[in-house]
Amino acid sequence: MIETIIGIDGMMCDMCEAHINDAIRRNFSVRSAKANHRKKQCVVVSEEPLDEAEVRRVIGETGYDLLSVSSQPYQKKGFLGLF
């Protein structure tokens, strides 16, 4: 699993977040997409790395500005079940 953090400028509200989430889900095979307008980013979890050029195209078509794209192996957060 891969976690991709996409920096995005121009989101102002929850509807902006939904617009980005929908665009990502429509154009890529992803497990999750969670945009946050306060953090100016969308965190995407997918099986395979996202094509950066395609990410740039998709975000550009939404009318928002892409600031950055970075990927790393996904590490599930939360309780590990260790006692």
Q: For strands 65-73 and 32-36, give the pairing.
A: unpaired
Q: Report phi then psi at 58, rounded to 5.
A: -65, -45
Q: What is the pLDDT of residue 77?
A: 73
- The full set of domains in the chain, from first to last, is 2-73 (3.30.70.100)
> Residue 54 forms beta bridges with which residues?
none
What is the rounded CA–CA span in Å between residue 20 and residue 37? 10
Question: Tens place of pLDDT for every residue, the chain, 83 residues?
Answer: 999 999 999 999 999 999 999 999 999 999 999 999 999 999 999 999 999 999 999 999 999 999 999 999 998 776 555 54
Which DSSP letter does residue 6 get?
Answer: E
Kindly list the distances between the CA atom of residue 50 and the CA atoms of 9, 14, 43, 78, 81, in Å, as whole numbers in the listed order.
19, 24, 12, 25, 31
